[in-house]
């Protein structure tokens, strides 16, 4: 789990670094990058979620070797078809980001933020294809139980983001090449360049490293197999949509709150960015659970799947309690890292109290979702998240923040309610799926 955790933290920290460095320029730059990230992140998680089907399918084929020695031969084909899908999704994501400024006026985003946010989105959009390809290859290598290469590349990429951001924010000249000072919006261009460098590095490693030579996913060319691509989409689309529903809710919050001013937007982004880093802990656990659950699913071992569910939920709860303690003790120190503005710090620290309150239920819902993905049960969880986040959390947040004038605090209370509903319903669904698989695998005397 540790390498996966480090990878998740590094990936999420790209947005963290962008936010911190933009916040050091001005509150307006921080607000612009915050809004840009609010458009970018939901697309990233939607595309990554769809491609996560690669993890479940490769893990199943890898685990099925115990019954079928030929199952491992399906791994290269699955991965190559996932790369075809990544190609389409990456280009689509790039186009959508470049068109997203058309929504600025209908969403009542303050006019002074338009140009900086548009420039940030334009720059970061060129990294979307690289992110899609990188995610696919990452899912492949993690499903084989080899997450370390991706971890190292992600950490190095994160480190390089700092000087790259600096060059695009403040401008830099190398000989005859001049990089203009773009302010906070320059973070978008820097992030896109780093994503392409990470992809090239991972491709070179997978082509040369000895552990991957037996499977050799990059040594042959396959035309698109639309039946297999359809299977990946059928399994992955609900995963992507479920993750999108949750991430989009947090991102829409920034847009809904934007008429309340730069301070509110910035404080929301500070709290969101900090909690996103903490969310990487249960998300990493969920990814590890998905991989192991997929392998046990391939082995048709319902008893091991049940044991894994118990361990995952207990460990997730323990980690959530640690996160709650961390927020309670260090929330003011956390906000001071992001912004020098005292009003932003105070409001963000208040929002972090709501984040502290939902850590436990958030860990339950994400770990349970990881179990269900490993079982290839993704459609019902998608509808559960739609209901919890957009039928429950969103209306409650809107009413409290805009009708009763509780502002950002009201919307974050709505998030707490939605996450609680999601965790409860997903736990019930997990129990149903466990019983269904026990019957399917003909497990005698199966008990909870």
Inter-axis angle of helices 342-374 and 53-63, nearest 10: 40
Q: For position 220, what pLDDT does the model report?
A: 77
Give the residue with greater pLDDT, 28 vs 8. 28
Find out whether 408 and 432 touch, Cβ atoms under 8 Å.
no
Give the residue with greater pLDDT, 242 vs 372. 372
Q: Rounded to an integer, what is the distance from CA 169 to the centroid of its chain? A: 25
Find out whether 334 and 257 touch, Cβ atoms under 8 Å.
no
Is 445 inside any structural domain? no
Mean pLDDT of 57-75: 73
Q: Considering Cα of 97, then 162, then 173, then 27, what sign does the dihedral take?
A: positive
Mean pLDDT of 353-373: 94
Q: For position 389, what pLDDT does the model report?
A: 93
The string of DSSP codes covering 218-271 is: TSS-----HHHHHHHHHHHHHHHHHHHHHHHHHHHHHHHHGGG-HHHHHHHHHH
Q: For position 231, what pLDDT does the model report?
A: 92
Is 446 inside any structural domain? no
The string of DSSP codes covering 176-207 is: TEEE---GGGHHHHHHHHHHHHHHHHHHHHHH
Mean pLDDT of 213-231: 83
Residue 387 DSSP class: I
Q: Considering Cα of 363, then 364, then 365, then 366, what sign does the dihedral take?
A: positive
Q: For position 422, what pLDDT does the model report?
A: 95
Is 162 inside any structural domain? yes
Structural domain of residue 85, as residue ranges?
Answer: 2-440
Pairing of strands 172-174, 177-179: antiparallel
Per-residue tokens: 14:
């790209």
User: 141 burial class (0-12, 13-18, 19+ CB within 10 angstroms)?
Assistant: buried
Flag the least confident range among 22-36, 145-159, 375-389: 22-36
Give the residue with greater pLDDT, 107 vs 205. 205
Q: Is 179 left (phi over 0), alpha (psi -120 to 50) or beta?
A: beta
Q: Is the pLDDT reported for residue 4 higher than 80? A: no
What total number of domains does the chain contain? 1
Quote the percentage of the chain above a pLDDT of 70.
96
Is 396 inside any structural domain? yes
Per-residue tokens: 158:
């994160």
In angstroms, rounded to a whole number, what is the distance separating the alpha carbons of residues 279 and 367? 11
In angstroms, rounded to a whole number, what is the distance separating the alpha carbons of residues 46 and 34? 19
Q: For position 273, what pLDDT does the model report?
A: 80
Mean pLDDT of 355-373: 94
Q: Is the pLDDT reported for residue 269 higher than 90? A: no
Whose structure tokens read 């996966």? 4
Q: Which of 292, 297, 275 is nearest to 370 (CA)?
A: 292
Q: For position 445, what pLDDT does the model report?
A: 65
Q: Is the pLDDT reported for residue 19 higher than 80? A: no
Whose structure tokens read 């129990």? 431
Mean pLDDT of 27-41: 83
Q: Is the pLDDT reported for residue 16 higher than 80? A: no
List pLDDT tens digits, range 146-203: 888 999 999 999 999 999 999 999 988 877 788 888 888 899 999 999 999 999 999 9
In angstroms, rounded to a whole number, what is the distance separating the alpha carbons of residues 278 and 298? 31
Give the residue with greater pLDDT, 377 vs 74. 377
Q: Is the pLDDT reported for residue 131 higher than 90? A: yes
Q: Is the pLDDT reported for residue 66 higher than 60? A: no
Flag the least confident range among 19-28, 136-145, 292-301, 415-424: 19-28
Q: For position 68, what pLDDT does the model report?
A: 59
List pLDDT tens digits, range 392-409: 999 999 999 888 888 889
Give the residue with greater pLDDT, 277 vs 233. 233
Find out whether 366 and 286 touch, Cβ atoms under 8 Å.
yes
Is 116 inside any structural domain? yes
Is 448 inside any structural domain? no
How many CB atoms are located within 10 Å of the residue 159 CB?
14
Q: Is the pLDDT reported for residue 448 higher than 60? A: no
Is 291 inside any structural domain? yes
In angstroms, rounded to a whole number, what is the distance separating the alpha carbons of residues 133 and 290? 20
Average per-residue pLDDT for the chain: 87
List pLDDT tens digits, range 37-49: 878 888 988 999 8
Per-residue tokens: 198:
């990470």
Is 358 inside any structural domain? yes
Q: Is the pLDDT reported for residue 11 higher than 80? A: no
Give the residue with greater pLDDT, 32 vs 198. 198
């Amino acid at each position: 789990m540790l390498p996966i955790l480090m990878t998740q933290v590094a990936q999420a920290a790209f947005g963290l670094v962008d936010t911190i460095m933009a916040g050091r320029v001005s509150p307006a730059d921080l607000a612009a990058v915050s809004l840009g990230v609010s458009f970018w992140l939901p697309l990233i998680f939607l595309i990554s979620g769809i491609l996560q089907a690669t993890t479940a399918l490769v893990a199943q084929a890898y685990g099925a070797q115990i019954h079928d020695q030929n199952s491992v031969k399906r791994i290269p084909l699955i991965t190559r078809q996932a790369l075809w899908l990544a190609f389409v999704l990456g280009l689509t994501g790039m186009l959508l980001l470049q068109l997203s400024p058309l929504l600025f006026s209908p969403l009542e985003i303050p006019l002074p933020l338009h140009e900086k946010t548009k420039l940030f989105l334009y720059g970061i959009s060129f990294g979307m294809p690289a992110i899609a390809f990188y995610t696919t290859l990452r899912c492949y290598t993690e499903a084989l139980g080899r997450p370390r290469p991706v971890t190292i590349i992600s950490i190095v990429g994160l480190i390089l983001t700092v000087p790259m951001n600096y060059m695009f924010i403040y401008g830099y000249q190398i000989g005859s090449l001049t990089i203009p000072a773009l302010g906070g919006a320059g973070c978008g261009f820097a992030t896109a360049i780093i994503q392409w460098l990470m992809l090239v590095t991972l491709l070179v490693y997978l082509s040369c490293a000895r552990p991957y030579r037996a499977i050799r996913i990059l040594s042959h060319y396959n035309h698109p197999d639309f039946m297999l691509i359809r299977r990946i989409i059928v399994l992955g689309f609900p995963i992507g949509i479920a993750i999108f529903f949750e991430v989009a809710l947090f991102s829409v919050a920034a847009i809904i709150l934007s008429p309340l001013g730069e301070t509110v937007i910035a404080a929301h982004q500070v709290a969101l960015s900090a909690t996103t880093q903490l969310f990487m802990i249960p998300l990493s656990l969920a990814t590890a659970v998905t991989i192991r659950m997929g392998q046990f699913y391939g082995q048709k071992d319902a008893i091991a799947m049940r044991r894994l569910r118990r361990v995952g939920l207990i460990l997730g709860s323990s980690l959530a309690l640690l996160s709650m303690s961390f927020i309670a003790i260090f929330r003011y120190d956390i906000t001071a890292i992001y912004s020098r503005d005292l009003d932003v710090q105070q409001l963000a620290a208040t929002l972090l109290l709501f984040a502290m309150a939902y850590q436990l239920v958030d860990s339950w819902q994400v770990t349970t979702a990881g179990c269900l993905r490993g079982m290839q049960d993704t459609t019902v969880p998608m509808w559960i998240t739609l209901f919890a986040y957009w039928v429950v959390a969103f209306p409650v947040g809107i009413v409290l923040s805009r009708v009763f004038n509780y502002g950002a605090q009201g919307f974050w209370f709505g998030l707490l309610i939605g996450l609680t509903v999601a965790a409860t319903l997903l736990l019930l669904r997990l129990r149903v799926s466990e019983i269904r698989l026990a019957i399917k695998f003909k497990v005698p005397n199966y008990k909870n």
